[in-house]
Amino acid sequence: MLKHLYIRNFAIIDELELDFNAGMTALTGETGAGKSILLGALNLVLGDRADNDSIKQGNEFAEIVAEFDIKQLNDVSVWLVAQELNTDDECILRRRISKDGRSRAYINGTPVNLQLIRELAEMLIDIHGQHEHQSMMKISVQRQLLDDYASHAPLLETVSNIYVELKLTEEQLHHLQQSSNEQNDRLDLLRFQTQELDTLAIEENEYRTLDSQHKRMANAERLNTTVEQALHMLSEDESTNVQSAVSHIIASLTGLNELDENLSPASEMLTEALVQIDESVSLLQGYRDNIEVDPVELAATEQRIQNILDLARKHRVEPETLHTLHKELQEELDDIDHVDERLEELSRQQEQLEDKYLKACETLTTSRKKAATKLNKKITQSMQTLGMTGGRFEIVFNPSTSRRSAYGLDQIEFTVTANAGQSCKPISRVASGGELARISLAIQMIIANNSKIPSLIFDEVDSGVGGGIAEIVGRHLRILGQPSTRGNNQVICITHLPQVASQAHHHLRVEKQTLKKHTTSQVVTLDEEQRRREIARMLSGVEITEQSLAHADEMLERAQSV
């Protein structure tokens, strides 16, 4: 759960530190005091896009740090380990925005990209906004709400994976069917080209080998002359040659070693040099004996090189790559020659995937209908307590095998009636703004109660309700914040209704202060007396009366019984 929030130089906040606890926390304050700024700062540290306009005027940067207790969140610990991020019982998210437009994000002190922050945030906290009832008009949102309630992520992943594979197979099949009608001309060309290359039968690296051989044979006379000259100077000149000269020097120095041992290293080096000279002479003699060139072999080599160059120019490739081109053309020819087999294989694969997809969709539909029955009952019951006595909620299924998607075959639609005895109609057509807000609130609270995420934030979702219904909403939120089998829960509710705020276990008030033309927001943790007066202010407005204080006492006392 969220333990601590630190904000610096953000919007109209200079510096602010807030501690949060388990249970329900109400966040109140006059309009414009900065309640939405706190939520904006939290959204930013959770991965929202940065805007340097949110940096407090006169400062170079803004910084937000959120600290979470993750002792009860095994999934988060496993995720942190998988990402090789430091993990303990706490997880710290930090975001820094600079005036120059740069933004940096950190998890436990390690720099990360925003995508990682967002992945982690989805496991740490769930935020329900005051305008979510507007998006509930969309069919896609209705389907997602049902799937979230039923924890359908694994089933949806299975359906989506099969759907993607099926679409890919269908595209391959379509492409092959189209191309097979256009490949007759290509087939004739490929057969002619591969036949030419088959006849040439060039081997890998053959051109380089031939080129090297041709250089040697074409320059045989020059090579032979140079080698002969070298051998003559090294060993074959009777009057003077390197071998005899070095041998004579070694003999002379050896006789002097007894007079001065400092000459020994030079003698040893010359002896080693003589060995190298002897080996060089042997190698050159062997080379000379094999340097003779057969004119027929030279002509054959030249013709082979010319054939390779001619075909390489024809195909507009380098001669070294002709062997690779031969393989590629042969593979393409094989593919076209076996197109009928491939078409049959893809058709069979398509049928198997269609059957697999339909079965996976059937499993998903069955689970959806089972979950819908439970959700219908819960939301209908909640509607009775939210001022829609006799109202009924029903999720309608319109399956269609012609509308395949990664989400299955179901066309899901929320229907409702606010009055007893009337049939349900699509929620977008029959619900008024107030009714829609209350239905949305009922759905959000029910889905949130099934969430594995212990920290829930409700941003003025009680908009459009009041009186006794508002108190019921507050009770629902208080119950959501109470400990459950999943451990300590946390509900933070931004509200303008005293009936809701009075149900909280903890109370924070946002205050805007102006001093010497400098405006800033602060948050105060209220004690019992301060809370009593804040509830009274919310009831009566600017002037707090004895009557409003008595009413506040009554509301706070009723909350203790929940």
From 241-250, 262-271, 312-321, 464-473, the region with the lowest mean pLDDT: 464-473
State the pLDDT at residue 376: 94
Given pLDDT bands bounded at 50, 70 and 90, which one contains residue 33?
A: low
Q: Give the three-class secondary structure for 303.
A: helix
Tokens of 112: 């990360």
Alpha carbon distance 397, 371 (integer Å): 12
Backbone angles phi, psi at 422, to 5 degrees: -105, 150
State the pLDDT at residue 187: 74
Given pLDDT bands bounded at 50, 70 and 90, which one contains residue 132?
A: low
Residue 484 has pLDDT above 70, yes or no: no
Query: Mean pLDDT for the chain?
Result: 85
The residue extents of the domains of the chain are: 2-130+460-559, 185-337
Share of the chain above pLDDT 70, in %: 93
What tens digit of pLDDT does each residue of 338-362 get?
A: 777 778 889 999 999 999 999 999 9
Average pLDDT over residues 19-25: 93
Residue 486 has pLDDT above 60, yes or no: no
Residue 556 has pLDDT above 70, yes or no: yes
What tens digit of pLDDT does each residue of 215-250 get?
A: 878 777 788 888 888 888 888 777 778 888 888 888
Alpha helices in 83-152 (DSSP H): 114-124, 132-135, 139-150
Residue 19's region, left for phi above 0, alpha for psi from -120 to 50, else beta, is beta
**Residue with token string 């925003």:** 114
Residue 181 has pLDDT above 70, yes or no: no
Residue 523 has pLDDT above 70, yes or no: yes
What residue type is assigned to position 253 of the chain?
L
What residue type is assigned to position 454 of the chain?
P
Residue 476 has pLDDT above 90, yes or no: no
Alpha carbon distance 403, 322 (integer Å): 50
State the pLDDT at residue 164: 94
Predicted TM-score of the model (pTM)? 0.62
What residue type is assigned to position 379 of the chain?
I
Q: Give the chain's radius of gyration (CA, Å).
A: 43
Average pLDDT over residues 532-554: 89
State the pLDDT at residue 347: 92
What tens digit of pLDDT does each residue of 77-116 get?
A: 888 988 888 777 889 999 999 988 889 999 999 999 999 9
Given pLDDT bands bounded at 50, 70 and 90, which one contains residue 514?
A: confident
Share of the chain above pLDDT 90, in %: 32
Residue 174 has pLDDT above 60, yes or no: yes
Architecture of domain 2-130+460-559: 3-Layer(aba) Sandwich (3.40)
